Amino acid sequence: MPKPILVVEDDPNIAALVEKYLTRESFAVTLAADGETALAEARRIRPALVILDLMLPRVDGWEVCRRLRAVSDVPILMLTARAEEVDRIVGLTIGADDYVVKPFSPAELVARVKAILRRASPVVATERAIVIGDLTLMPEQHRLLRDSGDVTLTPSEFRLLATLMGAPGRVFTRDELLERLHTDGSVVIDRVVDVHVGRLRQKIETDPAHPDYLLTVRGTGYRFVTPENVGNAR
């Protein structure tokens, strides 16, 4: 079955253009022209990915993203005319996985969609679970458990955490982590790794301001440490 994509866009010309290019690539496209309809359609079709405009009637794209992220880890690609870096950072902070600015190349948009879906796909089942402290990362199921309870992660958060937990103690530079997040070569803002790390800390740390697991290496990047090495790593 074609993967369902929910396109949330109030400009009918842009919506039709996006639908045309995605349909060519065998995606099943559902359109929504306002935020309330988008939320209803997301519940109905359970999309593989959401392309989300920000300036929407009834419920704006920021709020749609927040509500979706509260109940789902569906990948979200924001498509908007708002090009300021602060808008991109806010979008990533509230749970978006990528950000495309209008005017855009439809072919590039499709490439971004495919790249996000590749990153969101579970990895091969031969990869074993990684257990560190009260965290259990299960690559084959694309799941993270904390004290046996599920932690909801976006595809980008999962990819970043899997990289760090897969090599505990190793220092990863921001550039290395960016390469793991965006293997398609897309241009991303410098702070995207910091935004994702901040969101991960909110989800896995008892005190995000004083993390036990995900530590900053000043001037370089980040590393993930095991509980017994926390004191020595600071």
SS3 12: helix
Q: How many CB atoms lie within 10 A of CB 91?
A: 24
Q: Which of 101-110, 116-125, 171-180 has the highest mean pLDDT?
A: 101-110
Residue with more model confidence, 199 or 182: 199
Residue pair 92/188 in contact by the 8 Å Cβ criterion: no
Mean pLDDT of 191-220: 91
pLDDT of residue 122: 54
Backbone angles phi, psi at 116, to 5 degrees: -65, -45
Domain at 130-233, CATH from 3.30.420.10, 3.90.700.10, 3.50.90.10, 1.10.10.10: 1.10.10.10
Q: pLDDT per residue over 67-94, tens digit each?
A: 998 888 899 999 888 767 777 777 777 8
CATH class of 4-120: alpha beta
CA 35, 37, 38, 44 torsion: positive or negative? positive
Give, as one character, the DSSP assignment of residue 212.
Answer: S
Query: How far is 51 from 137, CA to CA, in rounded Å?
Result: 28
Going by C-beta distance under 8 Å and a sequence separation of 6 or more, which residues neighbour residue 108? Answer: 100
Residue pair 29/50 in contact by the 8 Å Cβ criterion: no
Query: How far is 207 from 202, CA to CA, in rounded Å?
Result: 8
Q: pLDDT per residue over 4-57, tens digit each?
A: 999 999 999 999 999 999 999 999 999 999 999 999 999 999 999 999 999 999
Does residue 3 surpass a pLDDT of 70?
Answer: yes
pLDDT of residue 226: 85
On average, the pLDDT of the chain sits at 86
Characterize 152-177 residue by residue with b for buried, 16 or more Cβ atoms within 10 angstroms of its Cβ, and e for exposed.
Answer: ebbbbbbbbbbbbbeeeeeebebebb
Does residue 101 surpass a pLDDT of 50?
Answer: yes
Domain ranges within the chain, ordered by starting residue: 4-120, 130-233
| Sequence-ordered strand ranges (E) for the chain | 4-8, 28-32, 49-52, 76-80, 98-101, 130-132, 135-138, 143-146, 149-151, 172-173, 214-217, 221-224
Mean pLDDT of 119-133: 69
∠ CA 35-73-22, rounded to 5°: 65
